[in-house]
Structure 1
Amino acid sequence: MKTPPDGTVFIVDDDDDFRASMQWLLESDGLSVTSFNSARAFLDGYDGSPGCMLLDVRMPDISGLALQQMLLEKGIELPIIVLSGHGDIPMAVTAIKNGAMDFLEKPFDDALLLHRVGLGLRQACELQQQKDQQAHTRGRYDSLSRREKEVMALVVAGRANREIAEDLGISPKTVEVHRARVMNKMEASSLPVLVTQAAQLGLS
C-alpha cells in the first residue's frame, strides 16, 4: 500500500457539489483535505499548514486570480493547481504566468488530478524543507556577535584575512579567530557553504 504524501490539499471552489466530489476523491486516495467555498473563507481559515491548492478561477467576490495575488503579497507559498471551466483558459494561463504550477480544465480525468496533486504535495514538502533550513540558518546567524557578523560579511565578499584586518582595525590573528568562530556557529564546513548561507539570508 502506498504512503500518501505529507501535507494538506486545500480546495477553494464555490461549487458545493464539485467541492464535495473532489474531497471524496482525494480522501479516498489517503490524502488530507480541507475545503473552502470562497477565497475569503480560505483567507480567514488558513492556518499556515504546508500543502497544495486546487483553485477555481471564477468565484464571486474574490476571484482565483485575485486570491493568488493576495497569497503572493502575503508570502504564502502553496503550489497551486488552477481549475478552469470552459472559456477560462486565458485566465488560467495568466495564473500560470503568476506562478501556479499547473491548470486543469473541467471536467478532467481523476487519475490525472491525483498525479498533479501528488506532484504539488511533493513540491510543498520541498518548500517546507527550504523554509526550515532557512530558519535554522537565520538562527545560527543571529547567534553571531556583531564583530563576527562583520567578519562574515567580508569573508563571503572574498576579502583575505589581511584585508579584513585592515578594514576592521584588528590583527590578522584576531580575524582568524573570528573566522573560525563564524564557521563553527554557522555550521559551515567550507567557504562555499558559508557563501550559500549568506545568499539564503539575503546578505550582500
Structure 2
Amino acid sequence: MAEIAAGRIHVVDDDESVRESLKFLLRLYGFEVDLHASCQDFAAHFDGGPGCLLLDQHMPGMTGLEFVEGHRALLRGLPILMMSANMEAETRDRALRAGVASFLDKPVDTGRLVDELRLLLARPA
C-alpha cells in the first residue's frame, strides 16, 4: 500500500483535525504531505515544486476559489483538487474555469481521494 508518489500533497484546510487526518491517511499511501491552515500560509511556504494542492473551499478570510482565481501565476502547473461539504454548481463551474482539476465532497471517500491524487500527480506538468 505504501508506494511512493511523485510530488508533494499540499493540504489547505482551516480545520486542524481534518488536516491531521488527511496527513495520516495520505502518508499511509506513500504521499509526502505538507499542511497549511490557510491559503495565505500555503502561498508563503510553497516552493514551486511538483505536487498537488488539496484545497478546502470554505475557509474564513479567503475561500479556496478566491485563492485560485487570485493566484494563477503561483499555482501554474500545480493540479488542484478542491474539497467541500457543500459546493454549489455555480462555484464548481467557476472553479473549473479557474483551473481546478477535480472536486471531492466532504467527508472525503478515501479510495476516491487516493485515486484522484495519483491521477493528478501522473499528469504531465
Amino acid paired to 2:55:
L
TM superposition shift of 1:96: 1.9
Structure 1: where are the runs of 5+ without partners?
Answer: 128-204
Q: Tell me the C-alpha RMSD between the 2 structures.
A: 1.6
Q: Give the aligned partner of residue 88 of structure 2.
A: 89
Q: Distance in 2 between matches of 1:30 and 1:37?
A: 22
Q: Looking at both structures, which has the greater relative contact order when contacts are Cα pairs under 8 Å and sequence separation is at least 6?
A: 2
Q: Give the aligned partner of residue 10 of structure 2.
A: 10
Q: Give the aligned partner of residue 66 of structure 2.
A: 66
Structure 1 residues 74 and 31, CA, compared in 2 at 3 Å: closer, same or farther?
closer
Amino acid paired to 2:84:
S
Superposition pairs of residues 139-150 of structure 1, within 5 angstroms = none
Structure 2: where are the runs of 5+ without partners?
Answer: none
Q: Give the aligned partner of residue 116 of structure 1.
A: 116
What does the per-residue CA deviation read over 1:163-196, in whole Å, with 9 as the maximum and x for residues that have no partner?
A: xxxxxxxxxxxxxxxxxxxxxxxxxxxxxxxxxx
**CA contact under 8 A between 2:3 and 2:29: conserved in structure 1?**
no
**CA contact under 8 A between 2:39 and 2:67: conserved in structure 1?**
yes
Q: Give the aligned partner of residue 167 of structure 1.
A: none
Secondary structure of 2:71's counterpart equals helix
Structure 1 residues 75 and 25, CA, compared in 2 at 3 Å: closer, same or farther?
closer
Superposition pairs of residues 21-40 of structure 1, within 5 angstroms = 21-40=21-40
- Structure with max Cα Rg: 1
Q: Distance in 2 between matches of 1:78 and 1:42?
A: 13
What does the per-residue CA deviation read over 1:106-135, in whole Å, with 9 as the maximum and x for residues that have no partner?
A: 112101100001011112xx21xxxxxxxx
Amino acid paired to 2:109:
D
TM-score normalised to structure 1 length:
0.57
Greater helix proportion: 1
Structure 1 residues 75 and 17, CA, compared in 2 at 3 Å: closer, same or farther?
closer
TM-score normalised to structure 2 length:
0.90
TM superposition shift of 1:92: 3.0
Structure 1 residues 75 and 85, CA, compared in 2 at 3 Å: closer, same or farther?
closer
Greater strand proportion: 2
Structure 1 residues 110 and 55, CA, compared in 2 at 3 Å: closer, same or farther?
same
